[in-house]
């Protein structure tokens, strides 16, 4: 009898599988967790505040699309050893690749603004002005990333953002109407209004946001995941996407049960009410800590994803482990983005409105990036036997067409409105 077949060998094999998973785990979980950033949290909370549970069915569809896209990005990174920026440059015409990267840069610039707005909104809950907290955040995030202690800052931000894991508990303790939750989760309950359409686009944009795909593929490459390790990386990508979506739906349910029907969010204080069932008087503090951690994490991840894409596209050094001298373009783009993003936030205005508007922008741009990802994952000349099969191509196509239709209708109505025909 071989060692592999003995009962004593089974626990050892399980331990080896766990260790192997931990060796490649991270990119998917971090990318998905970063997706529940300031824009995500506040968009989900606004969905609950405006329409209670009516967006839950839409979130189920969005979750399927997120799982499909994240898996494809992780597979592209593991099997090609290149991030999305390099693949888009190599596999598409100069006109297409330049246009795609320009759109990604614009989208991520908007998101970087929203992350620093999230930092400002979180610290205002503790009585600290954005004009003090945002500049400090810029210095800390820049130092942790560029000086080489990024992984430590990443762990701190993740720990803080774990506060949002209280939302599933809050969703239960808020005693939502179980019948309505089940109905809205399993059947479409769409509202025929412009406000609902705008929110639908924002939900798509904040959940399947382009920077998550850029970061996922880039981080898989940076981590050195090989094709033979991909099955475990696939678990990381899918589990991260599912976990992020479960938290998102919990936010909608908790907020819908506590302040559903009150209208769009206008302050972080109102958004914090969704945590009152679990935290009581400490809801603002818990929400503020979670928002700070999620915003700080994404304030690093979003500009890093742009840096990965641009550095990959022009073929220069790209790694958070590199020094400024080794990777001046990569770290220079990162520095430029956080400085500009913070500067915009320091302009007077409502931070919550600014954050929500950036998510709508993401929703409009998302279909374009998803089409490119699907085309790349379909190419056998690129991935060989790891390319999408018939089922994956069909499912990916349905997801992308659905997202594109929602975004397209919004753009059409917006243009008609500008022309006075809406």
Q: Work out the mean pLDDT of the chain and round it to a whole number.
A: 85
Encode pLDDT of 355-395 as tens digits: 888 888 888 888 888 999 999 999 999 999 999 999 989 99
Residue 66 inside a domain? The answer is yes
The answer as to whether 140 is a domain residue is yes
Q: What percent of the chain has pLDDT over 90?
A: 36
Q: How many CB atoms lie within 10 A of CB 168?
A: 17
Domain CATH code at residue 282: 1.20.1740.10
Per-residue tokens: 354: 């600014």
142-198 pLDDT per residue, tens: 988 887 666 666 677 667 777 777 888 999 999 999 999 999 999 998 888 889 999
pTM given for the model: 0.85
Give the pLDDT mean for 65-72.
91
Q: Classify residue 21: in a domain, yes or no.
A: no
Q: Is residue 56 part of a domain?
A: yes
pLDDT tens readout for residues 134-155: 999 999 989 888 876 666 666 7
Ramachandran region of residue 226, left (φ > 0), alpha (ψ -120 to 50) or beta? beta
pLDDT of residue 1: 47
- Does residue 14 fall inside a structural domain? no
Please report the pLDDT score of residue 150 as a whole number: 62
Rounded to 5 degrees, φ, ψ at 125 are -65, -25
Asked if residue 1 belongs to a domain, the reply is no
**What backbone phi and psi angles, to 5 degrees, belong to 308?**
-55, -50
* pLDDT reported for residue 10: 53
pLDDT of residue 301: 80
| Structure-block tokens of residue 93 | 């015409």
Q: Per-residue pLDDT tens for 245-286? A: 998 999 999 999 999 988 888 889 999 999 999 888 899 999
In a domain, 319, yes or no: yes
For residue 195, the surrounding DSSP H or E stretch is helix 194-207
What total number of domains does the chain contain? Answer: 1
Per-residue pLDDT of 56-68, as tens digits, reads 999 999 999 999 9
- Identify the domain containing residue 114 by its residue range: 31-418
Would you say residue 362 lies in a domain? yes
Contact (Cβ atoms closer than 8 angstroms) between residue 113 and residue 349: no
Q: Find out whether 404 and 366 touch, Cβ atoms under 8 Å.
A: no
């Amino acid at each position: 009898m071989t060692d592999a077949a003995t009962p004593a060998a089974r626990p050892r094999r399980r331990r080896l599988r766990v260790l192997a998973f931990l060796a490649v785990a991270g990119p998917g979980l971090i990318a998905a967790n970063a997706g529940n950033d300031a824009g995500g949290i506040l968009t989900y909370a606004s969905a609950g505040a405006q329409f209670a549970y009516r967006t839950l069915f839409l979130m189920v569809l969005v979750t399927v699309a997120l799982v499909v896209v994240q898996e494809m990005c992780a597979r592209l990174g593991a099997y090609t050893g290149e991030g999305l920026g390099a693949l888009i440059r190599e596999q598409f015409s100069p006109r297409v690749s330049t246009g795609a990267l320009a759109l990604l840069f614009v989208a991520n610039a908007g998101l970087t603004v929203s992350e620093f707005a999230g930092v400002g909104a979180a610290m205002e809950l503790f009585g600290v002005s954005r004009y003090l907290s945002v500049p400090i955040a810029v210095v800390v995030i820049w130092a942790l990333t560029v000086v080489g202690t990024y992984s430590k800052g990443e762990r701190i931000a993740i720990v803080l953002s774990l506060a949002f894991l209280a939302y599933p508990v809050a969703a239960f303790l808020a005693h939502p109407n179980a019948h309505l939750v089940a109905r809205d989760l399993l059947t479409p309950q769409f509202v025929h209004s412009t406000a609902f359409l705008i929110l639908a686009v924002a939900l798509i944009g904040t959940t399947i946001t382009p920077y998550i795909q850029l970061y996922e593929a880039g981080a898989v490459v940076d981590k050195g995941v090989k094709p033979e390790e991909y099955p475990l990386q696939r678990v990381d990508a899918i589990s991260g996407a599912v976990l992020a979506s479960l938290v998102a739906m919990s936010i909608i349910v908790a907020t819908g049960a506590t302040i559903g029907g009150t209208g769009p969010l206008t302050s972080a204080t109102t958004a914090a009410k969704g945590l009152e069932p679990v935290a009581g008087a400490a809801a603002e503090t818990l929400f503020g800590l979670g928002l700070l951690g999620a915003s700080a994490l994404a304030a690093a991840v979003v500009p890093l994803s742009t840096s990965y894409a641009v550095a990959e596209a022009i073929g220069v050094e790209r790694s958070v482990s590199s020094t400024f001298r080794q990777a001046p373009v990569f770290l220079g783009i990162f520095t430029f983005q956080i400085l500009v993003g913070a500067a915009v936030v320091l302009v007077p205005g409502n931070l919550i409105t600014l954050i929500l508007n950036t998510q709508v922008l993401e929703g409009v741009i998302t279909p374009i990036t998803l089409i490119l990802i699907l085309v790349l994952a379909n190419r056998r000349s690129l991935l060989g036997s790891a390319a999408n099969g018939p089922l994956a191509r069909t499912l990916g196509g349905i997801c992308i067409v659905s997202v594109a239709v929602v975004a397209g209708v919004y753009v059409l109505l917006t243009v008609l409105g500008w022309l006075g025909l809406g």
